[in-house]
Amino acid sequence: MDSNETEDFNIENKLEQIKTLESLLHLKVPNPAPLGLFSFGLTTALFQMKHSRLAGVERSDMHSAEKFAWGFAIFYGGLLQFVAGLGEIRRNNVFEYTAFLSYGGFWLSYGTSEILINVFSADTSDVNPRAEQAMFILMGIFTLVLW
């Protein structure tokens, strides 16, 4: 071996090359937890406007507040939590990843099912309320497990 070949196999040289690649391997990712927590909290609070009658005491007031909340639930409560969960994957936070993706999926599915029922069902009396109750119970159990 000549001196050029030994220089190529120099361990310090290889370590220096690895250190220059480290910034590409470990990209800085902003913390997505505030986005996920705010989207969950504000969506839940918006739905409580109807239940606490802060949106109004008339049936039409509560109905219009609920209609408004479904779009909010799908895009703000569901989609943004899902995005926050994907951000947690990059940060290798398994708990937050599981929670945000699950709650994001909950809001997406809940909002979509309500819109489908209201748009495509001429008679909403044929909807079984026990299915919705079962979803709430399962999410409650999931929340208890996470707690």
- The answer to which of 23-32, 44-53, 80-89 has the lowest mean pLDDT is 23-32
The Cα 61–Cα 69 span in angstroms is 12
Choose between 115 and 86: higher pLDDT. 86
Q: What share of the chain is helix, strand, coil (3-state, %, to 5)?
A: 80, 0, 20
Q: Are 9 and 70 in contact (CB under 8 A)?
A: no
Q: Which residue has tokens 């969950």?
A: 40
Residue 132 has pLDDT above 80, yes or no: yes
CB 117 within 8 A of CB 127: yes
